[in-house]
Structure 1
Amino acid sequence: MAQQRSDREHGWWKAPLDRFAEYLRANRGFSEHTIHAYVTDVKDCLEIIANRVDMLNDVSIDDIRGWMAVRSRTVSRSSMARKTVSVRRFFAWAYEHDLIETNPAATLRTPKIPMTLPWCFSQSQASQLMEAVHEHAEEVECQEDEVLDRDAGAHMHLDKRHKQPIPDDRSEDLARREAIALRDAAIVELLYATGIRVAELAGLDIDDIRWSDRTVRVTGKGNKQRVVPFGLPAAQAMEDWLQRGRDALCTAYSHNAVFLGARGGRIDTRIVREVVHHASEQAGVPDISPHALRHSAATHLLNGGADLREVQEMLGHASLSTTQRYTHVSIEQLKDRYRQAFPRA
């Protein structure tokens, strides 16, 4: 009994959970964010079960269901479904690697999640958002030109060696503001044009862009790569950022990243979300997340006649059923327009 108490106090589940995390990292190629989510879910389950059993091989289906009953009181059904998938995968791995004699989660069912349709912009709202980010970039550029013209004599001095004018801190600040405005316009345009995820956008390198056919190579979940096309407006916004804005933020830490943060490193996903929230506020459209731009891109593609499997490939969905949600969005929008326009609706 003393040994059992000691094992429980030190967490008998820690060693197998560490091995599971390493397996996901080395064999499945999952991102650290995904691995952390799996480990957190499984740890939550095993910590509660550890109050009833003393080793992994003793865990039963009833123990796991007991954990589900406890957690379902405090988390949403969608979160519970995700946690269940994590736990089921962990025990399947443990059984395959001979850590347990039987798999107690083999018959575990994932809680059913009621299908909710993803919200998306109308095409006019999307156009309004794109116009707003470009107008903001043009306004900042005009401000810089006005200041440089007005203060050319008062706020510039000469480099004695090269006889070249050097801008003061004020003009440098305006140049950075213009660069950020150009960057933000390119971010919003590319997210809408391609439907890529925030992490995928943040991970883009300059070499991933193919200007000849306007495509970008994206590394998605599980390190799977795909090639996604983008249109002329997004191409122009990207060129403006890379040719006229990026150098103002570039540092030794920029490396080959397409999008940079204010300090010159690769842009953080949190900043990308802030960019989209701020842009939607400026445009006077509903406040959205970058993922809503992804929803909008998919829905507008399908409304325009794109093939469902082509949209699946573009978005990087593993399952066609995930992409099919957007057909329901299109149908719901059609029904709304029908009710508004048809006299006998």
Structure 2
Amino acid sequence: MFSDKFIQYIKHEKRFSAHTVTAYENDLKQFIAYLNPSGSTPSVIHPSEVSHHHIRNWMVQLMDEKLNARSVSRKLATLRKYFKFLLQQGLITANPASKVSSPRPDKKLPVIVDTDKITAMLDGRLDNEEDVVFPHTFKGLRDKLVIEMLFGTGMRLAELLSIKEDDIDTYERTIKVLGKRNKQRLLPVNNELFELIGQYIEAKKNQNFHNNSLTFIVTDKGANAYPKLIYLIVQKYLSYISTQNKKSPHVLRHTFATTLLNNGANLNAIKELLGHANLSATQIYTHNSVERLKSIYKQAHPKA
């Protein structure tokens, strides 16, 4: 199958990573094994005899074996590159994998948390209040601000970490963030978050940190905040209100967008607030809203 030549090609000429090379090698071994089952006469000897039917049937078998669509698509990508290499080498006259479409990936709904619960937590209205209330310390204030900023603006983790104090316009009540592809956008700030920002700035000054950080959000010692710190803060406080496994800054971003949509916000406006390049990335949140409507219908309609 000339697979050895291909592996040497991607390893030494294309300089793919060792992990990628191993993945490609395993994919090709699996495909060759499918074409030549053990104990039977090989049905395919030369790559020129491989047709798109062989590839499509293999993909169907993989899906029947419960391999997810993303993994099957990756194996198809391996075959496309492999047969493209053989085509360039003049060993075949057509790439059979080019006629096969990738399986449509399963759409995963964004994971969100209950809006009422997170609002109650931020307002200090939970039953186990004594355990949840943010401590009246600089650290407690900083932690609360992190949750409020992620939930109140929908900004990304990287955007939160890159904010400087100069990016906060206290007159216009906006925060300037630098998103993907270095695109800047302005995010509106609600009244509670605006007051919290003011309290944080004052508390930060009173700490008299010796090392002047460049970022707005800082560690307990005044250094620039870092991703793991934000993850730990989010995981700590979301564990008070949610039992789901996923507790990350992006969950708060998903919750922000879904909450806006459920309360009638325009999809294009949500797109701009999230900093999405196109509307298709924002439309995933409509699925959560549809599921919510189905749930309400089942609970409220006598024919449901």
TM over 0.5: yes
What TM-score range do you get, normalising by the shorter chain? 0.5 to 0.7
1:206 matched to 2:165: yes
Offset of 1:339 from its aligned partner? Answer: 2.2
Return closer, same or farther for 1:118/1:112 CA change in 2, 3 Å cut-off. Answer: same
**How far did 1:186 drift?**
0.5
Aligned to 2:236: 278
Gaps of 5+ in 2: 30-49
CA–CA separation in structure 2 for the residues paired with 1:114 and 1:308? 22
Q: Distance in 2 between matches of 1:130 and 1:123?
A: 11
> How many residues get paired?
272
Give the RMSD, CA atoms, in angstroms. 4.5
CA change 1:332–1:137 in 2 (3 A) is closer
Cα deviation for residue 103 of structure 1 reads: 9.5
Q: Equivalent residue of 1:217, what SS?
A: strand
Equivalent runs, 1:19-98 vs 2, <5 Å? 42-45=20-23, 77=68, 80=71
Q: Quick one: structure 1 residues 104 and 243, their matched pair in 2 at CA, closer, same or farther if it must change by over 3 Å?
A: farther
User: What's 1:248 paired with?
Assistant: 207
Q: Does 2:121 match 1:129?
A: yes
- The answer to whether 1:186 aligns with 2:140 is no
Q: For residue 271 of structure 2, give the secondary structure of its aligned residue in structure 1.
A: helix
Shift of 1:321: 2.0
After superposition, give the CA deviation of every residue in 1:297-322 in whole Å (9 maximum; x if it has no partner): 10111122211111112112233222
Q: 1:291: how far off? A: 1.5
CA contact (8 A) 1:191 1:294 kept: yes
Partners in 2 of 1:106 and 1:212 — Cα distance? 57
Shift of 1:78: 6.3
Assess, with a 3 A threshold, how the Cα gap between structure 1 residues 45 and 220 changes in structure 2: closer, same or farther: farther
- Equivalent in the alignment of 2:275: 316
Structure 1 unaligned segments of length 5 or more: list them: 21-38, 52-59, 142-177
Corresponding residue for residue 112 of structure 2: 120
Cα displacement (A) at 1:331: 2.0
Q: Distance in 1 between matches of 2:143 and 2:262?
A: 27
Over 3 Å counting, the alpha-carbon distance change for 1:184 and 1:264 in structure 2 is: same
Name the aligned partner's letter for residue 222 of structure 2: G
In the superposition, the TM-score normalised over structure 1's length comes to 0.61
1:110 and 1:205, CA in 2 relative to 1: closer, same or farther beyond 3 A? farther
**1:277 aligned partner, one-letter code:** Q
Note closer, same or farther for the CA distance 1:87–1:308 as it changes in structure 2 (3 Å cut): farther
Following TM superposition, by how much is the alpha carbon of 1:131 offset from its aligned partner in structure 2, in angstroms?
2.0
2:121/2:133 contact within 8 Å kept: no
Q: CA contact under 8 A between 1:186 and 1:234: conserved in structure 2?
A: yes
Comparing 306-315 with 237-246, which one deviates more in the overlay?
237-246
CA deviation string 1:163-192 (max 9, x = no partner): xxxxxxxxxxxxxxx111111100000001
* CA distance in 1: counterparts of 2:189 and 2:120, whole angstroms: 19
Q: Share of identical aligned residues, percent?
A: 28
How far apart, in 2, do the equivalents of 1:85 and 1:193 lie? Answer: 41
Tell me, yes or no, if the aligned pair for 1:133 and 1:181 is still in contact at 8 Å. no
Kindly indicate whether the alpha-carbon contact (under 8 Å) linking 1:276 and 1:289 is maintained by their aligned counterparts in 2.
yes
